[in-house]
Amino acid sequence: MNLLKVTQLILLAAIAFACIKFIVNNTVWEKLLALNVIFSKILMFILVYAVLEKNSHFIDLALSYSIMGFIGILLITKFILRGGREK
């Protein structure tokens, strides 16, 4: 088994644990932190897959995914800080 495939398996396990943490947590901020961890682990998974397949197109995909994840987290945080649906 290749070292990159082992890395992918470890990342999949980390994503699964982060999903469980997202479900179990009670506060909104802990859920947001778990969501950010999920985004970053998926980004690392895409990059490892790009190296494994020797395809640079996946690096562009990972870059756009990271930008969308960052903007998404910022928008969710702004929504929560303004009161969310309570207004």
From first to last of its 87 residues, the chain has per-residue pLDDT tens of 689 899 999 999 999 999 999 999 888 889 999 999 999 999 999 999 999 999 889 999 899 989 998 999 999 889 888 887 665
CATH numeric code, 3-86: 1.10.287
Per-residue DSSP letter, 86 = G
User: Sign (positive/negative) of CA torsion 80, 81, 82, 86?
Assistant: positive
Check: pTM over 0.85? Answer yes or no.
no
Q: Which two tokens stand for residue 4?
A: 């990159």
The C-alpha atoms of residue 29 and residue 14 are separated, in whole angstroms, by 19
